[in-house]
Chains A and B, each alone.
Chain A
Amino acid sequence: MTSWILTITILSPVAGALLLMLPPYGDRASIRRSAVLYSLVTLGLTILALTRFYSIEEASDGAFVLMHELPWIVGESVEVVDMDGYLVEKPSIDISYRVGVDGISIWLVALTSFLMPLAILSSFTAIRERTREYYCLLLLLQAGLLGVFCAMDLLLFYVFFEFTLIPLFFLIGIWGGSQRRRAANKFFIYTLAGSVLLFAGIVYLSYYSYRTLGYVTLEIAELTRLGQGGYLPLDVQWWLFLAFAAGFAIKVPLFPVHTWLPLAHTEAPTAGSVILAGVLLKLGTYGFCRLSIPMFPDATFQLAPAVAVFAVIGIIYAALAAWVQSDVKKLVAYSSISHLGFCMLGLFSLKVAGVTGGVLYMINHGLSTAALFLIVGYIYERYHTRDIHEIGGLAKRMPWMAFFLIFFTLSSIGLPGLNGFVSEFLVLLATATSGQNSDGVGRGPLGYGYVIPAALGIILGATYMLWMCQRLLFGPLTEPANTPDTSAGLTADLTRREIGILVPIGLACIFLGVYPKPLLDTFESAARRNVLQSPFTYDFSDVRAPVIDIDDDHLATAVSANDLDVNGFYDSSGHGVGSIDAAQGIVRDAEIVSHASMTPALVGGGGRSRDD
């Protein structure tokens, strides 16, 4: 079931960027018009993918669908016994371009495609030089982000994960604030320092797949089975978890490696901040959710309390830090750190509700924080300052802005009826009930001890956000001299374009607050199937069929003909691999003797003996 839709969706922004780079170069207006157009094309393709996704039946069970595979780094064919005990032909190196989506990733793809046109629209007046390069880089960034969420191969995941750094490095470094170069460098090197360890982990995992399976594979589904099937020893899981966490925790960012984020946010142009907070930070949480938790289940279980402690410290610390910021953008940046702590808490509760809530939190945070950054950007464009001491009482001057700021603040602090509430509730519920076995995925490692400080974080969050609203919107009107600056065709209050950007986000917030079920359903089935430790049910039937199919008599002939000890083959006290070898040997011999094959279940007994 090959489907090109995801590949086309990922490549469409690249094509857009190339078209923008090609002559004839239009003026600024035509460049930004075409940039919006290209991003809308991607949005259209994403909606198409979304409808295709919902039309496929297995998708509602959480399976990966819309798969597409192209060979990339492949070796010659070898015969191996796979984890189901089937004798299969596999490339000795199996690293491919593989994309696919499940219930979790499709919505993150949708979030990316949804925010990008808005980010481009928001740059119309703010970006006045080197516009062509700017929109190219935004589109390339989008391609990278879409790729991360669609990647079904670990190396491909890493390629996209790393690639996102390049466009954002330029976006911050060229169009950023006064300290842009320092911020760009810090952002790049900080995140790279983590992701090289992730790279080391990936490379080691490729080697480990070879040791275990007999061929190098980085297919995420295979590696997940490897981890869930107990093929990875605990110490290996620990090291790999730590290596992966080094890459993802910096991206999230988890306390105490969050220090790059406030600087990057304050220096980035508005659209950069929107994408950074809205989507890019989710690469970290998505990485934990898609890779670390399912691949290293035992290490995850043991390390989850540590991660949760850092998450809780991050929630409180970042909330307190946000409280004392006078730069509004920095305040929102710190609130991001605080909020993503909740997301991590949900994921590491290792409960279905927690993972579901955590993923929903990613989407919700993407929407409301992106909107907050947009509003801060609007203010900055008019007043050239974000200092809370220099501006105030803006509700009189900008009533529309005041409305949206309060709306998204309420969404961000989790007012029931708006989106933030649902995910916050689910996360805290799952964290509290983590120790109980209520949803069929076993007991989680967390408990009430984590909920109490986290709930304190919610109160703090409400405090500093509302305090910010109060200072910015109410009280006597305070404006720096010669402002608001309307030279770029702005009006004192929001323009229709600016309102038009915020309205879709607001509608999405209301929708998710009132009726999150369509998302929650897909999240839940995907979480059960692909994230949490559970009987793995990935359907391989279309990929590989049992090579061998004979009855027991033939097998007996084969075995006796070769003096093989059948009992030894079945003996579960024997080492699993030895059994695989024996099984392989029998299979080969069986083929020689009878030119036929045996029941896969028999071979499977050998392959699975370690689980017994």
Chain B
Amino acid sequence: MTIEHIATALAPELILLVGACFVLMLGVTGSPPRGRWVSSASFATIVLALIAAVRVGSPEAGELLPGLWITSLTIYTRWVALSVGALIVLVNWHQPVVSERGEYMAMILLSLLGVLLTASANDLVVLFLAIELVSVPTYVLIALSRDDTRSSEAAVKYFFLGALSAAILAYGMSFLYGAAGTTTIHTFTNGIVSSNFSFGGAGQAQAMIGTMLVFGGLAFKIAAVPFHVYAADVYEGAASPVTGMLGFVPKLAGFVALCKLMSAFGWNIPPELSWMIWIVAAVTMTVGNVLALLQKNVKRMLAYSSIAHTGYMLVALLVGPVAGEGPMRDGVAAMLFYMAVYGVMNLGVFALLTAFRTGGRDVETLDDLSGIARRAPAGALALAICVFSLMGFPPTAGFIGKLYIFSGAFSTSAAHPMHDAMIALAIIGVINSAIAAAYYLRIVAAVYMRTEKDEAIPTGGMPVRWGLALCTIPLLVVFAWPAALTRSATDAVAVVQQSIFRNSEAVATTDPPSSVHTPTLRAPTTDHDDALEP
């Protein structure tokens, strides 16, 4: 494999890396420092990386480098991370003071680089490093984002808990290595499932502990219960545009890593672990939504809403992939779809919060939002669209996302041991989306129905407004034309299916799994059979 080949295949990552270094230097060199150009340079970097990602296009046949494998999941993640990343830069355009902007933007780019590497990682060590590359810059970002003690407090809090979760993650990975005898993820399937890691062999205890610890470490990144406690404080402490990023970037990385992990086991996790995810999903969405009801601060409210959305996506993760079926039945495709939509709609709300200031401080509470509709009707409309999308309401992409997730949960085959439990989970999910409406409505009501206080002043420049508009329009477009996103999301699942195919062959040669969910074996005709049995 030539160096050119590698450079071409990794072009988006390399562009991000070079761009980050360039932006970092641009911010501090020259006299006076050319901080004003930093935002444009960062935006250009991401756009270049996006173009490179489009040009690279197809996945690689094998490992590109030891520990890196460009799969269809990578392709999809690149697309989503870089598109939303460009919006993040737009929303952060005027953050923070010019003198610190170089470091700040470089951190955003590095964090995005971490997401891209997470998606291509094929080795536990690389995966761990990539996830840390996502997290570490966010600590810096939070600290830099505002000039007050709250952001420092949030950064320290996030850092300590993040470090703890990294330790848990690394510890778990060491157990997995012990069980599998390899750190290469795609050979886990061969090494573990067919020999001693069928969750029944000699390595069972190790594998169980390892999986649970890794899940715990990643639960922190995706803000799942019981590792969610930091979210509200950190979201509140950080400046709004950073918060918009925090809701998406670590979550995307965490879910992609979970996908990789689950696919490493061929999605054949034992019932105990399935139940663990089931409980975490149910509790996460319920806790998130119920606690959000109690909030008056919009950022805290959205922190809890972000927890709730993690719960919905965990439902889809638990459903698992179904070969070539598309997101109506394929949980992973639904999750990837929802992730992209969530990133955009969540960022949209924070873009609006960024675009206004009241009484010399950021807009944060429901009171601060009151009456924005009269002052900035277009902004209020955009906010309403984003909020209705978060609520899962037509005509927005959030509705399609909910449809996919819950349809996946309803579609588990009747033979699946968790069939009834999944239906129960879907019902818990839809009831949760009704609870969620109560607090989302308060945002809309504050904007449209309260009397104007004449305090919130539009401050954001054109980039922030563009960011808001570009967050809103796709939500309507994707509603009318979901295929725009579903096709690539469905393709992205091909990689996790590769493991399944290998796995089901491996299992078939030994012992037919009786209590194991093997979605690919679920052909339409088999369902026919149990459907029409009298």
Give the B-binding residues of A (Cβ under 8 A). 72-76, 78, 80, 92-93, 130, 155, 158-160, 162-163, 165-166, 169-170, 173-174, 180-181, 184-185, 188-189, 192-193, 196-197, 199-200, 203-204, 206-208, 210-212, 214-216, 231, 575-578, 580-581, 610
From A173, A193, A577, contact of B532 by CB (8 A): A577
Across chains A and B, the number of contacting residue pairs, with CB separation under 8 Å, is: 134
What band does the interface of chain B fall in when counting residues whose beta carbon is under 8 Å from A?
35 or more
| Distance from A150 Cβ to chain B, minimum over Cβ atoms (Å) | 15
With a cutoff of 8 Å between Cβ atoms, the chain B residues found around residue A76 in the complex are: 324, 326
Considering the complex, which residues of chain B in the window 315-364 have a beta carbon less than 8 Å from any beta carbon of chain A?
Answer: 324-326, 328-329
Query: Given A73-B483, A130-B374, A162-B393, 14 more contacts at CB 8 Å?
Result: A73-B482, A73-B486, A75-B325, A188-B441, A200-B410, A203-B403, A203-B406, A206-B410, A211-B414, A211-B527, A211-B530, A212-B531, A577-B532, A578-B528
With a cutoff of 8 Å between Cβ atoms, the chain B residues found around residue A212 in the complex are: 528, 531-532
Can you list 17 pairs linking A and B with CB atoms under 8 Å apart?
A80-B524, A155-B403, A163-B393, A163-B394, A163-B395, A173-B449, A184-B449, A185-B441, A199-B430, A200-B426, A200-B427, A208-B531, A211-B414, A575-B529, A576-B532, A578-B528, A610-B532
B62 on the interface (CB 8 Å rule)? Answer: no
With a cutoff of 8 Å between Cβ atoms, the chain A residues found around residue B325 in the complex are: 75, 92
Most buried by A among B393, B410, B437: B410
The 6 closest A-B pairs by CB, nearest first: A577-B532, A159-B394, A577-B528, A211-B531, A196-B430, A576-B532
From B324, B329, B434, B530, contact of A193 by CB (8 A): B434
Whether A211 lies near B528 (C-beta < 8 A) is: yes
Chain A residue at minimum C-beta to C-beta distance from B324: A76
Chain A residue at minimum C-beta to C-beta distance from B486: A73
Complex alpha-carbon distance, A576 and B449, angstroms:
57
With a cutoff of 8 Å between Cβ atoms, the chain B residues found around residue A197 in the complex are: 427, 430-431
Whether B434 lies near A189 (C-beta < 8 A) is: yes
Whether B532 lies near A575 (C-beta < 8 A) is: yes
Complex alpha-carbon distance, A163 and B329, angstroms:
25
Q: A203-B406, A610-B532 are in contact. Are A188 and B524 (CB under 8 A)?
A: no
Whether A196 lies near B441 (C-beta < 8 A) is: no
Q: Interface readout for B400-437 with A: 1 if CB under 8 Å, 0 if not?
A: 10110011001100100000000100110011011001
Whether A159 lies near B395 (C-beta < 8 A) is: yes
| Distance from A172 Cβ to chain B, minimum over Cβ atoms (Å) | 10
With a cutoff of 8 Å between Cβ atoms, the chain A residues found around residue B374 in the complex are: 130
With a cutoff of 8 Å between Cβ atoms, the chain A residues found around residue B426 in the complex are: 200, 203
Whether B329 lies near A210 (C-beta < 8 A) is: yes
B156 on the interface (CB 8 Å rule)? Answer: no
Q: A192-B437, A200-B430 are in contact. Are A166 and B388 (CB under 8 A)?
A: yes
Whether B528 lies near A192 (C-beta < 8 A) is: no
With a cutoff of 8 Å between Cβ atoms, the chain B residues found around residue A162 in the complex are: 393-394, 399
With a cutoff of 8 Å between Cβ atoms, the chain B residues found around residue A193 in the complex are: 431, 434
With a cutoff of 8 Å between Cβ atoms, the chain B residues found around residue A173 in the complex are: 445, 448-449
Chain A residue at minimum C-beta to C-beta distance from B528: A577
B508 on the interface (CB 8 Å rule)? Answer: no
Whether B433 lies near A196 (C-beta < 8 A) is: yes
From A80, A130, A200, A216, contact of B328 by CB (8 A): A216
Whether B407 lies near A575 (C-beta < 8 A) is: no
With a cutoff of 8 Å between Cβ atoms, the chain B residues found around residue A216 in the complex are: 328-329
With a cutoff of 8 Å between Cβ atoms, the chain B residues found around residue A155 in the complex are: 403
B534 on the interface (CB 8 Å rule)? Answer: yes
With a cutoff of 8 Å between Cβ atoms, the chain A residues found around residue B4 in the complex are: none
From A78, A130, A196, A578, contact of B524 by CB (8 A): A78
From B388, B444, B534, contact of A575 by CB (8 A): B534
Chain B residue at minimum C-beta to C-beta distance from A190: B434
With a cutoff of 8 Å between Cβ atoms, the chain A residues found around residue B445 in the complex are: 173, 181, 184-185
Whether B410 lies near A204 (C-beta < 8 A) is: yes
B514 on the interface (CB 8 Å rule)? Answer: no
With a cutoff of 8 Å between Cβ atoms, the chain A residues found around residue B414 in the complex are: 211
From A80, A185, A196, A204, contact of B434 by CB (8 A): A196
Chain A residue at minimum C-beta to C-beta distance from B414: A211
With a cutoff of 8 Å between Cβ atoms, the chain B residues found around residue A192 in the complex are: 434, 437
Complex alpha-carbon distance, A78 and B441, angstroms:
42
Q: A575-B534, A578-B529 are in contact. Are A188 and B394 (CB under 8 A)?
A: no
With a cutoff of 8 Å between Cβ atoms, the chain A residues found around residue B441 in the complex are: 169, 185, 188-189
With a cutoff of 8 Å between Cβ atoms, the chain B residues found around residue A577 in the complex are: 528-529, 531-533
Q: Interface readout for B470-501 with A: 1 if CB under 8 Å, 0 if not?
A: 00000000001011001000000000000000
B376 on the interface (CB 8 Å rule)? Answer: no
Whether B328 lies near A75 (C-beta < 8 A) is: yes
With a cutoff of 8 Å between Cβ atoms, the chain B residues found around residue A78 in the complex are: 524
| Distance from A7 Cβ to chain B, minimum over Cβ atoms (Å) | 13
With a cutoff of 8 Å between Cβ atoms, the chain B residues found around residue A174 in the complex are: 448-449
Whether A210 lies near B411 (C-beta < 8 A) is: yes
Most buried by B among A80, A189, A210: A210
B525 on the interface (CB 8 Å rule)? Answer: yes
With a cutoff of 8 Å between Cβ atoms, the chain B residues found around residue A204 in the complex are: 410, 423
With a cutoff of 8 Å between Cβ atoms, the chain B residues found around residue A581 in the complex are: 525, 528-529
With a cutoff of 8 Å between Cβ atoms, the chain B residues found around residue A165 in the complex are: 393
Chain A residue at minimum C-beta to C-beta distance from B391: A192
Complex alpha-carbon distance, A199 and B329, angstroms:
16
Whether A214 lies near B434 (C-beta < 8 A) is: no
| Distance from A427 Cβ to chain B, minimum over Cβ atoms (Å) | 33
| Distance from A231 Cβ to chain B, minimum over Cβ atoms (Å) | 7
Complex alpha-carbon distance, A212 and B530, angstroms:
9
Complex alpha-carbon distance, A380 and B527, angstroms:
61
With a cutoff of 8 Å between Cβ atoms, the chain A residues found around residue B388 in the complex are: 166
| Distance from A70 Cβ to chain B, minimum over Cβ atoms (Å) | 10
From B328, B528, B531, contact of A206 by CB (8 A): B328
Chain A residue at minimum C-beta to C-beta distance from B426: A200
Complex alpha-carbon distance, A155 and B483, angstroms:
16
| Distance from A123 Cβ to chain B, minimum over Cβ atoms (Å) | 18
Q: A214-B524, A216-B328 are in contact. Are A189 and B438 (CB under 8 A)?
A: yes
Complex alpha-carbon distance, A163 and B399, angstroms:
11
Whether B400 lies near A231 (C-beta < 8 A) is: no
Chain B residue at minimum C-beta to C-beta distance from A576: B532
Whether A181 lies near B449 (C-beta < 8 A) is: yes
Complex alpha-carbon distance, A188 and B486, angstroms:
30
Complex alpha-carbon distance, A211 and B324, angstroms:
16
With a cutoff of 8 Å between Cβ atoms, the chain B residues found around residue A206 in the complex are: 328, 407, 410
